[in-house]
Structure formats: structure tokens, C-alpha cells
Amino acid sequence: MTLKETREHEVAKSDRLDTVTAVQLKEISIDGLTCIGKGQNSVVYRLDQDTIVKLYKPCPQLMRQISMEKRNADAAYALGVPTARALEIVRVGENYGLMFEYLEAPSLRNVIAKEPNRLPDLAIKSAELLRRLHSLNVPKDAFPKISDCYRERVAGLADLLTPAEINLLNEMIDSIPERKTYIHGDYHRGNIMVRRKEPGHSAEDELLLIDMSDSSMGHPIYDVLGTYMLGINLVKTFPPDFIAKFIGWDTETIVSAWNLFKRTYFQTEDKGELAEIEAMLEAYCQLRWLTFLKIAPAVTEDMRKKSIEEARKSFFPMIRTHIERFKGRIEAMGCVQ
């Protein structure tokens, strides 16, 4: 069997939980366990040598979110995406968690914070991995469509924006063609893990992905926007001390990681071309940012207000111009299907 066939077989055997009722779940305790990581939505504990549990912060529709993460992680694994196997949904006291295979690999964020000299190699590898992921076509109905997810988030902004503004955001989503490409959905340094090869081993470090909750099907620009938004975009938007605290990398590191990533992902060294790509991502990143205003726990009321004021000044009036300007470039991205 090929790797893909073996994985499909394993996943078919495993429990497929589309919806779960809390009473059916195994109960575990995290007393005395070591916390090995934290994300926006979760705290992660090491359960034993081979497994971890991702304990979710309470939120509306939590069980739907956990079931979706399990389903997407299964489907991504079956597709051959280098990721941890999702195991079982469990109850932890009043809360819920999802068990995963433990990856003996620190995040790219932590690796570079400790060993900045590994940046060039790993920034290039992360762009190459994303190019490989974007060569994968997903089976029908294996993942949600990312454009639907954006449309749903935009609809959720109806109390903050005017109907005309909502229409403009939907026009921008419509300007991104549909594709059958695999999309990780949250491709940033905290979700990329680096498995180091033994010293003296000839093979290279390997990158693995976690946090498959936003995995979907669609146009590759959505993933590049994920990298852009939580990287260079922050440098353009926030002061350096906030960046160092929030990202754990200094401004220079973020800029140099982005330049390497961009040149590798888009396979160009041409300055004019790179500037146009940057302008396209800057414009479409504003769409992504607005779709996060209601769902990102780190976004405060004040940030939300300021983002909307700013968008009214310089983004909404420009949306149709952006769409016209970048149309051809977006259509040419990835393989047309």
C-alpha cells in the first residue's frame, strides 16, 4: 500500500465522529499532567509518552468545533498531509478535549526564538511545504469550502457594518476563484512543528502541521493570507514591543522570514513582481482581518472599533479597485482546475 492508501485505510477503521453526545465520552483527568503548549483556543497537556490532550476553552458550539477539528484532522491525515493523528474526543471534568498523537517537535516559533540561525532554512522549508500542500486536490466533500466559511464570518459582521460594506466584502470573496486545493487554513509559525533529525543523520529537518480545525478546500491565496496576517502584517500594524511579546520574534526576524517565504512560495526574485504580490496580499489581508474581528479571542472591543474606522477610511472605498487590479494575478495562482 502507498502511504496515502495506508492512511485512508487507518482512518476508515477509526471512529468517525461527526457529532458526539457528551455522555458517550471517555472521562480523563489532567491532574498532575505537564502543560506543553497553549494556543488561542486551547491548553495542551502531555498525557503519556505517545499522546497529548488538547483541552478547549469553553465557547458556543464547542462540540461542533471539536468534532470538526477531529474530522478535518482525519481527512488531512488520509490525504497525506504531515500531521498528528487525531485520536479520541474526551471529557475533562466540565470541559472537553481531543487526544492526539504526540509530536516530538517544537513549534517553528519556538525553534527560531531559540536558534535564529535556523531561520533561512526553515522559512524556505515552510514555503516549500505550503507549495506541496497546494498541489493536493481534495476529494469531494472531504473538507468545508473556505469561501463558505468566509461568507459565514462576513454575515456575522452585520451588526458592525452597513449592508453596502457587507456586499463589498462578499464581492471580494467572489473575486477569488473556487479551487479544489487543500487549504490548512491557519498556516503560521505556531502551527508548524519542526522535527529535528538525529545529529549525524543525513536527512533534513521535517516540518509537521497541527491545528487542523480550519482545514478546507479552496484557493491557495487563503493560506498565504494566514501566513501574511500573523507575520509581516503585524509588523506593518503594531509597535515592535507588542510584536516581540505577541509573536516572540523581533521585527527583523519577521521581515526576513517573510521575504524568504514570499520569494520561495511565489518562485520569483523579480522586484516588481514581488512588490505587486505584496500589494495584493496587503489588500486581501484586510478582508481576512475583518473576518476575524468577531472570532479571534485576542481582538479587543477597542481594536475592533479602530479596525472598522480604518477600513472605512482606506479599505472599503478601494475594494473594487483592488479586485480589478489583482484579478489576473489571483486567477494565475496555483493550478487552474
> What is the contact surface with ligand ADP in residues (CB under 6 A)?
36-42, 44, 52, 54, 84, 100, 102-103, 107, 190-191, 210-211
Q: Decide whether 101 or 310 has the Cβ nearer to ligand ADP.
A: 101
Of 33, 37, 39, 145, the residue at the interface with Mg ion (CB under 5 A) is 39
Helix (H, G, I), strand (E, B), or coil: what is residue 204?
coil
Q: Decide whether 129 or 308 has the Cβ nearer to ligand ADP.
A: 129
Nearest to 333, CA basis, from 222, 250, 184, 186? 222
Q: Decide whether 39 or 177 has the Cβ nearer to Mg ion.
A: 39
- Contacts with 190 (C-beta within 8 Å, 6 or more apart), sequence order: 39, 107, 108, 109, 211
41 binds, among Mg ion, ligand ADP, none (CB under 5 to 8 A by kind): ligand ADP
Nearest to 158, CA basis, from 300, 61, 297, 291? 291
Helix (H, G, I), strand (E, B), or coil: what is residue 182?
strand
DSSP H/E element including 34: strand 34-38
Applying the rule CB under 5 A, the residues between 169 and 228 that interact with Mg ion are 190-191, 211
Q: Are 49 and 102 in contact (CB under 8 A)?
A: yes
Q: Decide whether 213 or 233 has the Cβ nearer to Mg ion.
A: 213
Please state the closest distance from residue 162 (CB atom) to Mg ion, in A: 33
**Total binding residues for Mg ion by CB under 5 A?**
4
Q: Does 116 bind Mg ion (CB under 5 A)?
A: no
* Phi, psi angle pair for 148, to nearest 5°: -65, -40
For the residues of 78-136, what is the DSSP string, one character each?
HHT--BPPEEEEEEETTEEEEEEEPP---BHHHHHHH-GGGHHHHHHHHHHHHHHHTTP
Please state the closest distance from residue 119 (CB atom) to Mg ion, in A: 20
Q: What is the rounded radius of gyration, in angstroms, for the C-alpha atoms of the chain?
A: 20
Please state the closest distance from residue 298 (CB atom) to Mg ion, in A: 12
Please state the closest distance from residue 32 (CB atom) to ligand ADP, in A: 18
Please state the closest distance from residue 202 (CB atom) to Mg ion, in A: 31
Q: Decide whether 190 or 334 has the Cβ nearer to ligand ADP.
A: 190
> Which position has the grid cell 507575520?
231
- HSE toward the beta carbon, residue 267, CA cutoff 13 A: 5
Q: Decide whether 38 or 313 has the Cβ nearer to ligand ADP.
A: 38
Please state the closest distance from residue 140 (CB atom) to Mg ion, in A: 28
258 binds, among ligand ADP, Mg ion, none (CB under 5 to 8 A by kind): none
Please state the closest distance from residue 99 (CB atom) to ligand ADP, in A: 9
SS (H, E, C) 238-256: CCHHHHHHHHCCCHHHHHH
44 binds, among Mg ion, ligand ADP, none (CB under 5 to 8 A by kind): ligand ADP
> Which position has the grid cell 478546507?
216
Please state the closest distance from residue 151 (CB atom) to Mg ion, in A: 23
Q: Decide whether 12 or 36 has the Cβ nearer to ligand ADP.
A: 36
Alpha carbon distance 219, 21 (integer Å)? 34
127 binds, among ligand ADP, Mg ion, none (CB under 5 to 8 A by kind): none
Q: Decide whether 38 or 306 has the Cβ nearer to ligand ADP.
A: 38
Q: Are 81 and 58 in contact (CB under 8 A)?
A: no
84 binds, among Mg ion, ligand ADP, none (CB under 5 to 8 A by kind): ligand ADP
- Contacts with 148 (C-beta within 8 Å, 6 or more apart), sequence order: none
Residues in contact with Mg ion by the rule CB under 5 A: 39, 190-191, 211
